[in-house]
A = this chain, B = another copy of it.
């Protein structure tokens, strides 16, 4: 059964470019091995991720992430069966805090800061759809 899990987390400390490169490399290797696809956005120390794959595999990956001390406030935001995947590989996108993105954040929440924790499920889905098209992806 294919499922999709969306979760957020805060980085325990400030991440430099090397950290980000590490995280991207590790997640690409691990996810490919477990046939997990998805996307990851990062802005001001907040991660927002969508994971797609077998229900057991996605649960296993999520549980491993919970033990990673570099993350805190990890929380499931959305979860459900999907007829087929949206992604066929693994990607990571940086949401910089330039004006364009601030307008994007403002459109989907009460303030111009990136705060997926306060989004309702339906707002989260609309936001993810739009962010997918505007973010600069690292591949």
Contacts and interface: CB of A to CB of B under 8 A. Distances in A.
A76 B76 contact: yes
B76 A88 contact: no
Interface string A1-29: 11001000000000000000000000000
A37 interface: yes
A101 B5 CA distance: 25
Nearest to A82: B123
23 contacts: A2-B110, A2-B123, A35-B110, A35-B111, A53-B110, A56-B75, A56-B117, A59-B74, A59-B76, A62-B76, A63-B66, A80-B80, A80-B121, A81-B120, A81-B121, A83-B123, A83-B126, A84-B108, A84-B123, A84-B126, A85-B108, A89-B103, A120-B120
Interface of A: 1-2, 5, 35, 37, 53-57, 59, 62-63, 66, 74-81, 83-85, 88-89, 103, 106-112, 117, 120-123, 126-127
